[in-house]
Structure 1
Amino acid sequence: MAGRITSQFDRRATALDVIKGHDLSGRVVLVTGAASGIGVETARAFASAGADLTLAVRDTAKGEAVAADLRKATGNDRIAVGALDLGDQASVRRFAADFAASHAALHILVNNAGIMATPEMRTKEGYELQFATNHLGHFLLANLLLPLLRKGAPARIVSLSSIGHRRSPVVFDDIHFKQRPYDKWAAYGQSKTANALFAVGWTRRFGADGITANAVMPGGIMTGLQKHMPMEEQKALGWILPDGSINPGMKTPAQGAATSVWAATAKELQGIGGLYLEDCAEAAPWKEDAPWSGVLPHALDAEAAERLWSVSEEMTGLA
């Protein structure tokens, strides 16, 4: 793939490796889902670089415990916690209003939070929960914080996607499984495709204003994301070996956070958006003989990104 953007880091690099040498003093950073998993390690890297950091979390008690740990570990006292339930649009609006009231600008937004392979559940609007949480909540949040991102420009958004995007494009005729039978993996897949298409649509609109967005595939990591999956299913997928140990091909949370941090800080990506990144590089096209890496065309399709933007505005009341 000619002209593909790469870096000095590989898939085993950690978030702290990537942040080394960066000074984020005076920079405002917001990370969603920062109370567990790779969100904690993403936040740790930003805190270690001196950022003014906010952890946006559903469980504020867990969030405060993480914040206390990060303050002690990094010596950075500028770490706040805010309550955010991405599946509840009223919660997103409350969080955005509170954040805007206490910050003059925003420089880095990491849309990290997510859910995976859940039983069929819906929001009060009737939206399928994985699409609503993983995509719509973050779409609404970013748009509500646009004035702060404009003041922070050049600013960056990191949108957490997944190789799971290969399981489904966005099925515009039935996003919320009202006509077709619910499939937890198809639902997850289209939400992760939506996360990638968001980066395409966002950069098309606001890249010229100095606010870019890129999608990130963090890699396979064992975190709380698997909580809805029985152990036998995890073994069948090869994530857990027959003896109960974790597949050695999995990343640690610190390694999983590396590409998010790279997307947020790399000089190679200054002014560049609309990409799908993995292992601290721009992903190559997906190939059948290497199914656990790469990006499929439907996740970067400009026409689909425009259609998704329109329906997302309607579903969030931003139209």
Structure 2
Amino acid sequence: MPFGPDTTTDEVLADLDPSGRTIVITGGTSGLGRESARALAAAGAHVVLTARDAEQGRAVVAELPGRVDHVVLDLTSLASIRAAAGELRERFPELAVLVNNAGVMATPFGRTADGFELQFGTNHLGHFLWTNLLVPALGEGTRVVNLSSAGHVASGIRWADPNYASAPEEYHPWKAYGAAKTANILFTVELDRRLRGRGVRSYAVHPGMVATNLGRHMTAAAGRDLAKKVTAARMPPLKQVANGAATQVWAATAPELAAVGGVYLADCAISTEHAPWALDAADAGRLWTLSEGLVGAEFAW
């Protein structure tokens, strides 16, 4: 039976054996990340999930099957990212898959500890630094899976002022979310270009509209705006978590993806339903340079 929107994580893994592979999942304590961790660990993988605090991490590890570990990571802090990446590399020097799953959606205007707009800083810049710091642990056959969204169609990158430093009054929660999700895809494109020569491939994933707590920071106005967009677009019904997480698990494990990368996935397939700016190679390179400047580090892999 071909995979599609109703495929579950367990169905993706039914004929696969990820035993012995160390798979890192950011935001693995709830929603899509937790379901991915559960399914992969139950199938035999060694899962390392990240949590915002140690107590939360220990609690989730105790509830999941198989071999599961955790590290503390706060993607809104560059200092926390550097510390967590250092700990991870020391404890687990060889990684098979990195799933950049954590994120926030349509938040009120805010800033990270380092002054970045909260959505761009958390969803993109945090994972940009995190991934690059872990590249030495990524070898032949490793995959990087970046969670994006069809919401990227709301906006391309705000090149002149990505963090609303000069014009915070122009902030709109859905446009900022769209820019951050566009950044996730462009990062995927450029990361794949830079690392495929060493056998590392990357994928951007749209999980679908899923019933999780991702929208916990939304204001009532943002929620109403989303409801209008969904109605106008006649979007498919909400997926359950096991269906929503299936595409990222497929990206992490599917043998048929071994020879491709830098692509946008949805419903366990390569998708062509994306904004025209999403896979632009020139913009991907431009974003990489911009991101290096913002996080204060250069990466030449």
**TM-score normalized with structure 1 length:** 0.87
1:221 to 200, 210, 213: 210
Structure 1 residues 232 and 126 mapped into 2: Cα distance closer, same or farther (>3 Å)?
closer
The answer on 1:295 being equivalent to 2:274 is yes
Q: CA deviation at 1:62?
A: 2.6
Structure 1 residues 124 and 231 mapped into 2: Cα distance closer, same or farther (>3 Å)?
closer
1:96 to 78, 85, 89: 85
Identity, % of aligned positions:
46
2:155 to 164, 168, 176: 168
- Contact 1:111/1:157, CA 8 A, preserved across alignment: yes
Residue pairs, 1:99-118, within 5 angstroms: 99-118=88-107
Structure 1 residues 173 and 303 mapped into 2: Cα distance closer, same or farther (>3 Å)?
same
The answer on 1:156 being equivalent to 2:143 is yes
1:18 to 12, 23, 38: 12
Over the aligned positions, Cα root-mean-square deviation in angstroms equals 2.0
1:54 to 27, 44, 48: 48
**TM-score normalized with structure 2 length:** 0.92
Distance in structure 2 (CA, Å) of the matches to 1:226 and 1:124: 21
The count of residues paired between Structure 1 and Structure 2 equals: 293
Q: CA deviation at 1:198?
A: 0.7
Range with bigger deviation, 57-66 or 161-170: 57-66
- Contact 1:216/1:278, CA 8 A, preserved across alignment: yes
Distance in structure 2 (CA, Å) of the matches to 1:137 and 1:234: 25
Unmatched 5+ residue regions in structure 2? none
Residue pairs, 1:1-319, within 5 angstroms: 8-71=2-65, 76=66, 78-150=67-139, 153-180=140-167, 181-230=170-219, 233-234=222-223, 237-238=226-227, 249-284=237-272, 294-319=273-298
SS in 2 for 1:215: strand
Structure 1 residues 228 and 27 mapped into 2: Cα distance closer, same or farther (>3 Å)?
same
Unmatched 5+ residue regions in structure 1? 1-6, 242-246, 285-293
Q: CA deviation at 1:125?
A: 2.6
Aligned to 1:287: none
Distance in structure 1 (CA, Å) of the matches to 2:206 and 2:267: 8
Distance in structure 2 (CA, Å) of the matches to 1:105 and 1:222: 33
SS in 2 for 1:174: coil
List structure 1 segments (4+ residues) > 6 angstroms apart after TM superposition: none
Aligned to 1:3: none
Distance in structure 2 (CA, Å) of the matches to 1:178 and 1:97: 30
Distance in structure 2 (CA, Å) of the matches to 1:26 and 1:236: 45
